[in-house]
Amino acid sequence: MSARRIFARPARFAAIAPYVWMALFFLVPFGFVLKISLSQTAIAQPPYEPVFHLTAGWTAIRAAFAALGFDNFRLIASDDLYLFAYLRSLTVAVTATALLLLIGYPIAYGMARLPKRWQAVAMVLVIVPFWTSFLIRIYAWINILQHDGLLNQILLALHLVSEPVVWLSTDTAMYVGIVYSYLPFMILPLYATLAKMEPALEEAASDLGAPRWQVFWLVTFPLSLPGVGAGVLLCFIPVVGEFVIPDLLAGSNSLMIGQTLWLEFFTNKDWPVASSAAIVLLVVLLLPLLLYERLQRRQLEER
Amino acid sequence: MTDELPRTDAAADAAGDARPAAGEPLLRIEGVAKTFGTFRAVDGVSLDIKAGEFFALLGPSGCGKTTLLRMLAGFEAPDEGRILLGGKDIAQALPHKRPINMMFQNYALFPHLTVRDNVAFGLRRAGMARADIATRVAEMVALVKLDGLEKRKPDQLSGGQRQRVALARALARRPQLLLLDEPLAALDKKLRENTQGELMELQRRLGMTFIIVTHDQEEAMTMASRIGVMNAGRLAQVAGPRELYEAPRSRWIAEFVGDINLFDAESKLRDGHRLVIGTRDAGTLVVAEPRQPVGESRFSVAIRPEKIKLSRRGPVREAGHETAINRLDGVIADICYLGGTTTYKVKLDTGGMVQASVANSARLDVDAYSLNQQIVAWFTPDDCVVLPS
C-alpha cells in the first residue's frame, strides 16, 4: 500500500472535521433557535408551542409546522424597545471598537518594534490577565470605580476632586470595562501583521523623502489593514452582544440587546421573542463579516 | 533621449542641494565609527568619493560595509566622525532630508502600490507637480525597460522586473548619490551578469555617483572603478580592480580577492633588484623587490594560480633569465575542470602544494595533464608579490 493511500482517509476526515463540527454545534442549535423564534409563548414546559413530537405521526408534525409564524419578528419590529436596544448595542460596539483601535494600535506597534526577546515578554504581559477569571476582573473594576473605590480615593488624595465622582453605573465605566477586556483581541492580530512587516519598507519610504508621519500613513498603516480588519471584527462582534460588562458596570436606564435578550429569556420567560431577537442580531452581525470576507477575497485576487 | 537628463531637480533642491566645490570630493567620510553594544561594526573609516565614481564596498558578511552604507543613507547615526556631502556634514541628518537614495537588498518595493506608484513615491514626497511626475515616471519606466507593466503590483513581477522597479524608484529623484545594497544578490547568474552591464551603462550615461555594497568580488571588480575592501570594520585597501588583484596590500586581501598560493618565507637575501627568499614549502624563490621594503617582520611570497605555468620538461629558457625563473617540481595531485580553465593541484617535491590555473585554449586536450604525472610548475619573479603575514 502506498503512503498516499494510507494517509488518504485521515486527510479526508481532517478536511471534513470542521464542517462536521459546525453542523453539530452551530447549525443544529441554530435550527432549534430558529424554530423557537417561530413558535408562540405558552405556560408550559418548555414554555412555547407547538412542540414537535417525532412519535406523534405525520399529521401532527404537519399541524405543528402550520402553527409556526412570524409574529415574534413583527413584535420586535413594532416595539421601540428592541430597536433602541439594537441601536444602543451598535453605538456601544462602534465606539468601543474605535477606542480599542486607538489604544491597541500604538501598543501593538510598540511591541512589534521591540527587540525580539522583549517581544515575547510583552506578549505574555498582554495575555496574562486571561489567567484570572473574566468575572473576577470585572468585579475588581467595580471595586476600583465604586463610590469609595480606589480611583476616587486617589483623586481625593491628590486633591483633583473635592468629593467622590460617580463612576460606577455610567457609560464611562462600561467603556472602561469593555476596552480593558477586549484589548488583547485587538492587540494580537495587529501585532501579528506589524511584526511580520519588513522593516526595510519603512526605511525605503523615509529614504524616498517621507517624514515619519507619512511613512506611517502611506506604508505602515495600509500594510497593516488585514490586522486592523481582524482586530475590529474580533472586538466588534462580541461587543454587540455583550451582556456581562454593561450589566455590571453600566446604568440600567438603557439596555443593550444582550441584556434585553436576557430579560426576555429569564425574567419574562418568553423564549420565542428572545430567540427572534437573537436571530435578528445574528443577521445584523453577518453583514460586517460578509463585507470583510469580500474585501479579503478581492485582496487575494489582486495578487 | 535619456542622455540629456538634467542632473538637478526639485527633489534634490528641496533636500538642500549641495554641490562640491571644484576639486573637492562629492562625499567625504571622516573617521566614522559605529558601535552596537560592544561590537564595533565600523571602526574609524575615512574615504573620499568623487562625483561620477562607481565605487564598490567589498567585504565578507559582518565586515561593516552594510552599516557604513546605512550611515550614508541615514538609517544609522555614526558614533564618531563626519560624513560630508558637498562639504556639508550630514552625519546626523534624517534619511528623508538627504539627497541620497538607496536601492535595497530585497528591493523593499511597496507591495500595496503599483509599479507606477512605487516609482512616483519619492517624487510625490518632493512635492513635484502632477504633470512632471507623470513625465518623470514614464522616463524612468522606459529607462529600465518596464514599459507596459506600470499598473502591476510588485508580486505580479519576476525577480528581474522587481529589481528594475527598485532601480527606477531609487533613480527617480535624481539623487546626488545612489547607494546599492547587494542589488544583484537575488538574481540568477546569467541575469546578474546582464544586469551588471546595464547598471554600468546607466551610471555612465547619467553621470551619477554610485556606491555599491557587495560580498561578491567578481561583481565589484566588473562594475566598480574603485573598490574599498573592508575587514572587521576597517578599510583594508582602497584601489582599482587591477591594483587590488595584482598588488594586494596584505595577505588577508590577497586571499579574499581571488585565489592565491602563499609560501611562508624563512630567509631572505638581496640580489641586485631581486630578493632571494627561502621558503619552507617551495624551496628557494626569486622575487622582484617589493615597492615597500620588507622589514624584519614575517612575510610570505604570493602568486596567483593563473600566473603559474605548467610543462612536462622545464621552462623555455630565455637568454639571461635562467637563474631568475622559479622552477618547482612535483606531481599532479588533483584536476578540476571548469570549462574555460582547468585548475591543477601540484604536490611539490619540496612538500608544499601549489595550485595552477590553465586556460583551455584548445577544444581537444591532447596536451592535458593526467593525475600523478610528473610536472614542472614555473613562474617569473615579476609574477610574485611579497606580503606581510
Grid coordinates representing A195 are 511584526
Residue B46 has pLDDT above 60, yes or no: yes
Spell out the residues 6+ positions from residue A119 whose beta carbon is closer than 8 angstroms to its own: A111, A112, A195
CA distance A97 to chain B (A): 25
CA distance B229 to chain A (A): 25
pLDDT at A67: 84
For residue A204, the chain B residue with the least C-alpha distance is: B108
Residues from chain B that touch A200, judged by Cβ atoms under 8 A, are 104-106, 108
Chain B residues with at least one Cβ partner in A under 8 Å: 11, 14-15, 73-75, 94-96, 100-102, 104-106, 108-112, 121-122, 125-126, 153, 155-156, 169, 173
Q: B308, B304, B294: which is closest to B389 by C-alpha?
A: B294
Beta strands of chain A (E only): which ranges?
40-41, 48-49
pLDDT in tens, B21-38: 566 899 999 999 999 999
pLDDT at B318: 59
Residues from chain B that touch A218, judged by Cβ atoms under 8 A, are 121
Interface of A with B in 186-245 (CB under 8 A): 198, 200-201, 203-211, 214, 218-219, 222-223
Q: Could B121 and A214 be called an inter-chain contact, meaning their C-beta atoms sit closer than 8 Å?
A: no
Residue B17 has pLDDT above 60, yes or no: no
Q: Which of A236-245, B230-239, B290-299 has the lowest mean pLDDT?
A: B290-299
Q: Which of A40-54, A232-246, B43-57, B330-344 has the lowest mean pLDDT?
A: A40-54
pLDDT at A5: 56
Q: Could A218 and B15 be called an inter-chain contact, meaning their C-beta atoms sit closer than 8 Å?
A: no
pTM of the full predicted structure?
0.82
For residue B121, the chain A residue with the least C-alpha distance is: A208
Higher pLDDT, B75 or B17: B75
Superfamily of domain B9-246 in the CATH hierarchy: P-loop containing nucleotide triphosphate hydrolases (3.40.50.300)
Contact between B236 and B60 under an 8 Å Cβ cutoff? The reply is no
Residue B11 has pLDDT above 70, yes or no: no
- Mean pLDDT for the stretch of residues B324-350: 90
Instruction: Choose among A198, A200, A303: nearest Cβ to B155.
Output: A303
Tally Cβ neighbours within 10 Å of residue A246: 26
pLDDT at B13: 43
pLDDT at A56: 77
Residue B16 has pLDDT above 60, yes or no: no
Q: A238, A281, A215, A302: which is closest to A82 by C-alpha?
A: A281
Instruction: Choose among B100, B112, B126: nearest Cβ to A222.
Output: B112
CA dihedral B92, B97, B103, B104 (to 10 degrees): 60
pLDDT at B9: 46
Q: Could B101 and A208 be called an inter-chain contact, meaning their C-beta atoms sit closer than 8 Å?
A: yes
Q: A126, A130, A119: which is closest to A194 by C-alpha?
A: A119
For residue A224, the chain B residue with the least C-alpha distance is: B112
Contact between B76 and B34 under an 8 Å Cβ cutoff? The reply is yes
Residues linked to residue A126 through DSSP beta bridges, in sequence order: none
How many Å apart are CA B187 and CA B180, to the nearest integer?
Answer: 14
Residue A185 has pLDDT above 60, yes or no: yes
Give chain B's length.
389
pLDDT band at B319 (very low <50, low <70, confident <90, very high): low
- Mean pLDDT for the stretch of residues A259-273: 90
Round the average pLDDT of chain B to a whole number and report it: 88
Residue in this structure with the C-alpha cell 408562540, named with its chain if needed:
A40
pLDDT at B66: 94
Interface of A with B in 27-56 (CB under 8 A): none
pLDDT at B324: 65
CA distance B122 to chain A (A): 5
Q: Which of A174-178, B63-67, B121-125, B286-290 has the lowest mean pLDDT?
A: B286-290
pLDDT in tens, A99-120: 999 999 999 999 999 998 999 9
Higher pLDDT, A297 or B353: B353
pLDDT at A231: 95
Q: Could B96 and A209 be called an inter-chain contact, meaning their C-beta atoms sit closer than 8 Å?
A: yes
- Mean pLDDT for the stretch of residues B218-239: 94
Instruction: Among A196, A201, A208, pick the best mutation site for testing chain B contact (most B Cβ within 10 A).
Output: A208
Interface of A with B in 147-166 (CB under 8 A): none
CATH annotation of B261-388: 2.40.50.140
**Could you tell me whether strands B309-311 and B274-279 are parallel, antiparallel, or unpaired per DSSP bridges?**
unpaired
Round the average pLDDT of chain A to a whole number and report it: 89
Q: Could A208 and B112 be called an inter-chain contact, meaning their C-beta atoms sit closer than 8 Å?
A: no
For residue B112, the chain A residue with the least C-alpha distance is: A223
Spell out the residues 6+ positions from residue A219 whose beta carbon is closer than 8 angstroms to its own: A201, A202, A204, A205, A210, B110
How many Å apart are CA B376 and CA B330, to the nearest integer?
Answer: 6
CB-defined contacts A:B, below 8 A: 65
What's the ipTM? Answer: 0.83
Q: Could A204 and B125 be called an inter-chain contact, meaning their C-beta atoms sit closer than 8 Å?
A: no
pLDDT band at B185 (very low <50, low <70, confident <90, very high): confident
For residue B71, the chain A residue with the least C-alpha distance is: A207
Instruction: Choose among A200, A211, A302: nearest Cβ to B104.
Output: A200
Q: Where are the domains of chain B?
A: 9-246, 261-388
Burial of B287 (0-12, 13-18, 19+ CB in 10 A): buried
pLDDT in tens, B118-162: 999 999 999 999 999 999 999 999 999 999 999 999 999 999 999
pLDDT band at B8 (very low <50, low <70, confident <90, very high): very low
CA distance B179 to chain A (A): 11
Residue A182 has pLDDT above 70, yes or no: yes
For residue A50, the one-letter residue type is P
pLDDT band at A294 (very low <50, low <70, confident <90, very high): confident
pLDDT at B316: 62
Q: B337, B335, B317: which is closest to B327 by C-alpha?
A: B317
Residues from chain B that touch A198, judged by Cβ atoms under 8 A, are 106, 108
CA distance B101 to chain A (A): 6
